[in-house]
Structure 1
Amino acid sequence: MASNDRKEDVDARRQSVDALVSQLAAQDKTPWYKKPNLRIMYLVFLPTCLGVEMTSGFDASMMNGLQAVDSWDTFFHSPRSTLLGLMSAMYSLGAIVCLPFVPLVTDGLGRRRAIFLGSVIMIIGAIIQTCARNFAMFVVARLIIGFGIPFAIVAASSLIGELSYPKERAIMGSLFNSCYFIGSIIAAGVTLGTFAMKSNWGWRLPSLLQVLPSVCQVAFVWFLPESPRWLISRGRGEEAFAILAKYHAEGDLNSEFVKAEYVQIEKTLELEKETSKVGWVDMLSQVGMRKRLVIAAFLGLVTQWSGNGLVSYFLARILDNVGVTDNRTKNLINLANTCWGFLNATFFALTVSRFKRRHIYLLCTISLLLVFTGWTIVQKKRVESEIQKDAHPQAREANTEKASIEKEERA
């Protein structure tokens, strides 16, 4: 009982401090680009924290593009079905294997070191992928890349939230996701430029260029300050206060806003320490807590299970099924799709605070449902059309000749 009373007291004080921080932030009318220290930090975000998502986007778009590169298809003996799924799934499998270690590294070593470690692992994986001599080596390389990405993503997203000024925090967090498409656009452009190369560099070059985002993170992450929250949790309060004053008050150590932020972080850590004593049994003992647990557990799963993975990793095969077989056309569609995704993601990132979260979520989910329904109908119509054509001997003979000509042209 005493523990619950203490927790409620800490929570009440935290809420009052939250309200004060929000009030003081609203009174600040100076835009971020007129604050030199904050402006520089946001610029360094680009190759570091925001750049982490570019790695994920590059990987997905690259795997899409490589399936439309003849040299890649020939080198790996035209992987389809299970083998193609394994190539793509190993990236996610590596991330799943890594997850138990992520909080230990992120909270133990700090956000910057976690980003550095994850980026180094991804560089190693990309180099092995570039030098792959067979299917097994390529798959293992993708596993290594997937193992490194969670360290960087979790630490980078945390650092964005913990360093950003409160007024821009939601926008910066949303831009983190939109940067996924910057990596996708670069990879789609690269594969469009290399798909016609006859040598194995048609697929090795995109694999090699996958190191670029990680190299930027390794080079620039040390120009970012460490997380004030992490520093306070480690008993390094003076360093944390100095960072908050430099970037949120342009060096004013007497700023009331910075003092309120510092207290806010302390109270939040204190509350988390109290709630950490609550076990899983307590979480499942109440109907409301069980409902929240189910929603939290399935929200991420359902979001990734919405069909976007098909477009991210198997667009080339989907296009085959709807009648688009030209490799150049496939790569152009891949590039156009990533550009369109970037425009939409950036728009919602800059306007996210004006819409209700559930409304945006439902709108995007319903849109995906309509798109995949349309694709399914088109695929069905094409299959029916092919069946009707093959039902006539002359048409079947023409199709056979056409297939032979295409095979000779590829050879």
Structure 2
Amino acid sequence: MVVGEKADPVVTRLVEQDHVPWYKKPNLRSMYFVMVPSCLGVEWTSGFDSSMMNGIQTIENWQTYFDHPNEAKLGFMSASYSLGCILALPFVPWVNDRHGRKKSIILGSLIMIVGSILQSAAQNYAMFVIARIVLGFGIPFAIVAASSLIGELSYPKERAVLTSLFNSSWFIGAIVAAGVNYGTFQMTNTWSWRIPSLLQCVPSFLQLGSIWFIPESPRYLIANDRHEEARDILVKYHGEGDENSELAATELAQIQATIKLELEGKKMTWRQYFTTAGNRRRAVLALCIGVFTQWSGNNPLSFYLKKILDQVGIKDGKRQNLVNLGMTCWSWVNGTCMALAVFKFRRRQMYMTCIFGILTVYIILTISSARYAATGSTASGILTVVAIFCYSPFYNMGFNALTYTYLVELFPFTIRSKGITMQQWWGRAATFCNTFINPIGMDNIGWRYYIWYCCWITVEGTVIYFFFPETAGRTLEELSFLFEGDDVRAEVTQKVAKQIGELEHREIVVGKDEKV
């Protein structure tokens, strides 16, 4: 366990002294309002996709049109979305760091619109798969950029909550998709699945329409020598337009000093990235977060709920769609609550509670499914559904609420895009394997397949307990050198203090000149 000491408490102190809530700050409030469709809404597409693929499997017209795909075909069809993500990830950091967060969101949104249109117009299995690959190719550009932009624009007091809400917004897309699937379920033509496929592009249109009204990341601007623009953004949104805002001036000095030190390794290649012990540890944590968020038992519930319900005797398509819709709505409620509460608890506490909870749920799910297979007990089937509903609060506490909050805190600005990209790569690779293998495993060995998840979740808990550091309660700049040792953190503190002193000196000189 590593708990880094505070490198520079000045910003933290100033933020703690500010007792005005965000909704009483007009500039900050307006930025957060636009941030919902432009950034938080990016995850609506991912949520829509998972829920849509879950729901259309219950639509007979879809099954007939694609000739009742077997387990391997169904698995690859679902996994092709993740394959597209994997193909895009080598290009994502370059676009983010070279062209900025906003342009990366625009690029990803345009690609996803093309993919959604192709998916809705699919004439055969191959075209449907290609469309899903295109959709997947676009999503990481938007996810990496949006999660970074939220963390880099937010007022320090709300940063953890907003980055947590980013992941929980996944459920909004999932709820809409579940509702659309339920509404089109009884249609007697191919529009029963083409309508959900086409509506997947709606979030991307929302991003394209709103991204112009949100500022660029101040950290990106400073890294590209656009200091005045960055200062104007900090003054407007964090200082509410006060040119003499102490917080805005201190934040600017802190960001400039930290990024200057980070940029000593500017244009760092992937090979150079792994040369330091601190970055190697960050890379391992990105791997763990990517894999754990997808291999913790959530994939069967997200993509193959129909199979789970079939195994416990709930085979009516309408009832399955209702369970899907109800589960998704419940997940959104508790996911949002967890995101809003993230600032009240330490990161490690939330992760460990999450692991203990989902392990308990999967043990119950395994036992209830085994009992139904042996006895056909209706009570066992009901217990399985209850376990499914109990899963989401625990999962959302850790792997939903903390994923992007933790990533943004672990990785300094200059390698943040690379860090989130690594997490995305491992996460998408894990999803691809999971989504392809799960239907085969569930079909061949039934409830016994859940034992694998019980064992793996135990491994996850062990890794988190021993290797995940605590990051709560500090600014991004204070966390920039979490793994680099006290000497580097002290150097940053000295540079920030020096820069703040220079700013104060200039203000005194200007004040004297004005009096003269």
Normalising TM by the smaller chain, what interval?
Answer: 0.7 to 0.9
Pairing 1:283–2:276 present: yes
- Flag the 1:197–1:96 CA change in 2: closer, same or farther, 3 A: same
Verify the 8 A CA contact 2:273 2:279 in the aligned structure 1: no
The aligned amino acid for 2:7 is Q
Pairing 1:182–2:172 present: yes
Deviations 1:12-32 (A, max 9, x none): 9x933xx11111111111111
Q: How does 1:221-232 map to 2 (within 5 A)?
A: 221-232=211-222
Secondary structure in 2 aligned to 1:205? helix
- Flag the 1:28–1:365 CA change in 2: closer, same or farther, 3 A: same
User: How many Å apart are 1:129 and its aligned residue?
Assistant: 0.1
Aligned to 1:262: 252
User: How many Å apart are 1:80 and its aligned residue?
Assistant: 3.0
Instruction: Give the one of 152, 160, 178 matched to 1:170.
Output: 160
Aligned to 1:131: 121
Q: What CA distance in whole angstroms lies between the structure 2 residues aligned with 1:85 and 1:169?
A: 37
The aligned amino acid for 1:360 is M
- Flag the 1:40–1:268 CA change in 2: closer, same or farther, 3 A: same
Give the structure-1-normalised TM-score. 0.86
Deviations 1:263-286 (A, max 9, x none): 1111221222235679467435xx
Deviations 1:133-153 (A, max 9, x none): 000000001101111000000
Whose radius of gyration is greater, 1 or 2? 1
Verify the 8 A CA contact 2:115 2:131 in the aligned structure 1: yes
Aligned to 1:81: 71
Q: How does 1:96-245 map to 2 (within 5 A)?
A: 96-245=86-235
Pairing 1:45–2:31 present: no
Deviations 1:320-374 (A, max 9, x none): 1221111111111111111111111111111112222122212222322233333
Q: What CA distance in whole angstroms lies between the structure 2 residues aligned with 1:191 and 1:155?
A: 30
Deviations 1:65-121 (A, max 9, x none): 111111111111112311111011111111111111001001111111100100010
Pairing 1:343–2:330 present: no
**Which deviates more from structure 2 when the two are superposed, residues 341-350 or residues 149-158?**
341-350
Aligned to 2:304: 314
User: How many Å apart are 1:177 and its aligned residue?
Assistant: 1.1
Q: What CA distance in whole angstroms lies between the structure 1 residues aligned with 2:104 and 2:289?
A: 26
Q: What CA distance in whole angstroms lies between the structure 1 residues aligned with 2:121 and 2:186?
A: 20
Q: What CA distance in whole angstroms lies between the structure 2 residues aligned with 1:63 and 1:56?
A: 11
Secondary structure in 2 aligned to 1:325? coil
The aligned amino acid for 2:73 is L
User: How many Å apart are 1:256 and its aligned residue?
Assistant: 1.3
Q: What CA distance in whole angstroms lies between the structure 1 residues aligned with 2:273 and 2:33?
A: 41
Aligned residues: CA RMSD: 2.1
Deviations 1:166-198 (A, max 9, x none): 111111111111101111111111101111111
Aligned to 1:71: 61
Aligned to 1:298: 288
The aligned amino acid for 1:307 is G
Q: What CA distance in whole angstroms lies between the structure 1 residues aligned with 2:225 and 2:323?
A: 52
Q: What CA distance in whole angstroms lies between the structure 1 residues aligned with 2:318 and 2:305?
A: 13
Q: What CA distance in whole angstroms lies between the structure 1 residues aligned with 2:198 and 2:116?
A: 6
Instruction: Give the one of 337, 343, 351 matched to 1:361.
Output: 351
Aligned to 1:390: none
- Flag the 1:78–1:373 CA change in 2: closer, same or farther, 3 A: farther
Secondary structure in 1 aligned to 2:19? coil
Verify the 8 A CA contact 2:80 2:129 in the aligned structure 1: yes
Instruction: Give the one of 15, 23, 26 matched to 2:7.
Output: 15
The aligned amino acid for 2:93 is P
Secondary structure in 2 aligned to 1:47? helix
Aligned to 2:364: 374
Secondary structure in 2 aligned to 1:166? coil
* Unpaired stretches in structure 1, ≥5 consecutive residues: 1-10, 387-411
User: How many Å apart are 1:309 and its aligned residue?
Assistant: 1.1
Deviations 1:190-219 (A, max 9, x none): 101111111101000001111110100011
Instruction: Give the one of 37, 43, 49 matched to 1:59.
Output: 49
The aligned amino acid for 1:15 is A
Deviations 1:248-306 (A, max 9, x none): 1111122111111111111221222235679467435xxx8766653442232122111
The aligned amino acid for 2:181 is T
Percent identity between matched residues is: 54
Q: What CA distance in whole angstroms lies between the structure 1 residues aligned with 2:62 and 2:92?
A: 33
Aligned to 1:396: none
The aligned amino acid for 1:27 is Q
Aligned to 1:409: none
The aligned amino acid for 1:80 is N
* Unpaired stretches in structure 2, ≥5 consecutive residues: 377-516
Q: What CA distance in whole angstroms lies between the structure 1 residues aligned with 2:316 and 2:140?
A: 35
Secondary structure in 2 aligned to 1:247? helix
